[in-house]
Amino acid sequence: MVRIIPMASTIGPSLSSFKFASASASASPRLFSFSLSSSSCTIPSRRLSLLHLGSAVPQSHFFGLRAAKLLRREGNDMGVAAAGNAAQASTTATQENVLEWVKKDKRRMLHVVYRVGDLDRTIKFYTECLGMKLLRKRDIPEERYTNAFLGYGPEDSHFVIELTYNYGVDKYDIGTGFGHFGIAVEDVAKTVELVKAKGGKVTREPGPVKGGSTVIAFVEDPDGYKFELLERGPTPEPLCQVMLRVGDLDRSINFYEKAFGLELLRKRDNPEYKYTIAMMGYGPEDKNVVLELTYNYGVTEYDKGNAYAQIAIGTDDVYKTAEAIKLSGGKITREPGPLPGINTKITACLDPDGWKTVFVDNVDFIKELE
């Protein structure tokens, strides 16, 4: 049985890792949680103070004063109501503006982050069997973790993998919520033979997908992460899918469209196997990485384990992004703003199923890479 150990957050001192966790003295750093504290704003009610009138004031004067005050109060109430309606209309307009802005924001999926038990072993498998390149590697001994970035092209133009190794931790629980990564290859059968020759595990032999003609296969890396190999011609984005399971597909689609600006590229129901999938992305499926959301009939919750961490997405404005996420029902786990020390602006959130995403300022991201 795998023992689940609380791990350091993969968000790191530099942009690519987005690590907010601080290592404890023990061998396994603890995950710090960032809670969003909400404060309520109370508007004090306006009340007319009754003027204390002595018996020296004639009764007719008293009635006149009261009538005048009643008229003033009625006028004030009407003014407050009008102001309230104007404020509500302004708020609605602002919300519409923010959600409309999301569609125009220059967004791109930057990288996916997850934890592995042996960094060198995983790098060897990805480079020799899956054809990836080691883009960079860095060690942070004071916080007891190491990162490695791998992919099929530069980080400023390609979706890449960020691996995190926490000192002394060799096993993680992948859970039941995470599905697989997708890689487009020109020859699935040839890639599978290479994986077998290197001692890799093949869980689905090459062949047409059920109900279609696309040739696929499934393999596992040394930590048990599944990779779907899809036979496809040359593509600018070989690392092409991240599949996550969700408990309410329509709810997730609505959230990702509004808060993330993702487009629903296609949706397919498979009643024979009791599941439905939705492909969402920032461009055509054959040229961009997509988020594959899977709903299994009747399953509303999944165990997320402690292995998979998050996806990072670039944005032109982390502040507006956070606002849109809140308006769409998402939970902000890291308020928008610059990271201490490097001034890279980010914000982090959870979707309705608890899957984490980090948004990072596009300009700051390029500066970090430079």
Of 339, 358, 340, 338, nearest to 348 by C-alpha is 358
CA distance 323 to 336: 9
Mean pLDDT per 10-residue section of the chain, whose length is 370 residues: 38 41 35 32 31 34 42 51 52 76 96 98 96 95 96 97 98 98 97 92 94 92 97 96 98 97 96 96 96 98 97 98 95 96 93 98 94
Residues 6+ apart with CB under 8 A from 41: none
Q: What are phi and psi of 360, to 5 degrees?
A: -130, 145
Whether 228 sits among the annotated catalytic residues: the reply is yes
The pLDDT score that the predictor gives to residue 13 is 39
Of 212, 203, 128, 115, nearest to 165 by C-alpha is 115
Of 32, 4, 35, nearest to 20 by C-alpha is 32
331 beta partners: 350
Give the other-Cβ count within 10 Å of 314's Cβ.
20
3-state SS assignment for residue 82: helix
The pLDDT score that the predictor gives to residue 287 is 95
pTM recorded for the entire structure: 0.77
Q: What are phi and psi of 190, to 5 degrees?
A: -65, -40
Task: Confirm or deny that 370 is annotated as ligand binding.
Answer: no
pLDDT for 68-87, tens place per residue?
A: 444 455 555 555 455 555 45
Task: Confirm or deny that 155 is annotated as ligand binding.
Answer: no
> What is the rounded (10 degree) CA torsion for 356, 254, 109, 367?
-80
Task: Confirm or deny that 100 is annotated as ligand binding.
Answer: no
The pLDDT score that the predictor gives to residue 163 is 98
The pLDDT score that the predictor gives to residue 129 is 94
Q: What are phi and psi of 320, to 5 degrees?
A: -65, -35
Dump the DSSP string for 289-337: -EEEEEEETT-------SSEEEEEEEES-HHHHHHHHHHTT-EEEEEEE
- Active-site position among 228, 285, 292, 323: 228
